[in-house]
Amino acid sequence: MASRSEIMIVGLGRFGSAAATSLMDLGQDVVGVDSDEKLVQRHAPLLTEAVQVDATDIDAMRLIGAEEVQTAVVAIGNDIEASILAASVLLELEVPRVWAKAVSDRHGQILGRLGVHRVVFPERDMGDRVAHGLVGLAIDFVLIGADFAMAETTAPKEALGRTLAEVGLRRKYDVTVVCTKPPGGTFSLTGPDTILQPDDTLLVIGEKENVERFSRLD
């Protein structure tokens, strides 16, 4: 039976499996749920518990104590109907935090209207990340929600050798430089007196369009 200390992953396909095993690596207790017996058997040695059950059946989910978990992730992607039904079951069981994977904007909209606390788009987000890297807009690029982004990039020439307070990047470009990293070094938090060097890598956050525009600067 599941407990409040455990995280439940519903759907043990590629995304669910990766999330579940990463959570285990982070020291979390994970209950994996899938209707496929082979997937459950494969993951049983890797997770705290793996259970074969139909996640769209509220009575079956009650039997395994789904209402006792604090967090559940609906990782079903190949069956939109099952994804929506599983999410609605978890919400009806009043699981405090329910996240769900979406495979399309419409799918995500429906999950959001159900009351899912966070909808993730792994394929879309990774595609966006790869695209930004390929065209040189950023070293790395991560969407945070629909319109917010974080990027690793370099400093524009106008900012080199000057402090963040002097150059006023936030005022001029509406982005925030939160960390800098010298070549071969590690990221450290910035302050008003941080001086940007030519080979520094910057970690920048802001609205997606602003981060993209900043990453294009020479």
Report the b/e string of 57-87 with b at 16+ CB within 10 A.
ebebbeebbbbbbebbbbbbbeebebbbbbb
Do 24 and 107 reside in the same domain of the chain?
yes
Residue 18 lies in a domain: yes
- Among 120, 150, 166, residue at a domain's last position: 120
Residue 1 lies in a domain: no
Q: Average the pLDDT over 5-26 and give the result.
A: 92
- Tell me the CATH number at 176: 3.30.70.1450
d(CA 10, CA 53): 10
d(CA 181, CA 179): 7
Share of the chain above pLDDT 70, in %: 91
> Which segments of 35-83 are extended strands (E)?
49-52, 71-74
Flag whether pLDDT at 135 surpasses 70. Answer: no
Q: Residue 10's pLDDT is what?
A: 97
Do 116 and 129 reside in the same domain of the chain?
no
Do 116 and 142 reside in the same domain of the chain?
no
More confident site: 146 or 216: 216
Do 196 and 115 reside in the same domain of the chain?
no
β-bridge partners, 150: 142, 205
Residue 77 lies in a domain: yes
pLDDT tier at 115, thresholds 50, 70, 90: very high
Range of the domain at 149: 125-215
Q: Average the pLDDT over 8-35 and give the result.
A: 94
Which of the residue ranges 2-11, 95-104, 139-148 would you say has the lowest mean pLDDT?
139-148
More confident site: 10 or 139: 10
Flag whether pLDDT at 12 surpasses 90. Answer: yes
Do 11 and 99 reside in the same domain of the chain?
yes
Do 84 and 137 reside in the same domain of the chain?
no
If one counts every other C-beta atom within 10 angstroms of the C-beta of residue 146, the result is: 11
Q: What is the pTM of this model?
A: 0.70
Which of the residue ranges 69-83, 97-111, 135-149 would you say has the lowest mean pLDDT?
135-149
Split into its structural domains, the chain has a count of 2
- Cβ–Cβ < 8 Å for 13, 76: yes
Q: For the chain, report the end-to-end CA distance as a whole number of angstroms.
A: 57
- Among 120, 141, 161, residue at a domain's last position: 120
Of 91, 126, 118, nearest to 102 (Cα)?
118
Structure confidence by residue, pLDDT tens digits, 91-100: 999 999 999 9
Do 207 and 147 reside in the same domain of the chain?
yes
d(CA 118, CA 80): 16
More confident site: 185 or 74: 74
Flag whether pLDDT at 37 surpasses 70. Answer: yes
Tokens 């909209």 correspond to what residue?
Answer: 109
Residue 106 lies in a domain: yes
- Among 68, 90, 120, residue at a domain's last position: 120
Q: Which residues contact 24 (CB under 8 A, 6 or more apart)?
A: 30, 46, 47, 48
Do 89 and 181 reside in the same domain of the chain?
no
d(CA 173, CA 117): 31
Do 37 and 86 reside in the same domain of the chain?
yes
- Tell me the CATH number at 39: 3.40.50.720
Which of the residue ranges 48-52, 63-67, 131-135 would you say has the lowest mean pLDDT?
131-135
Do 51 and 136 reside in the same domain of the chain?
no
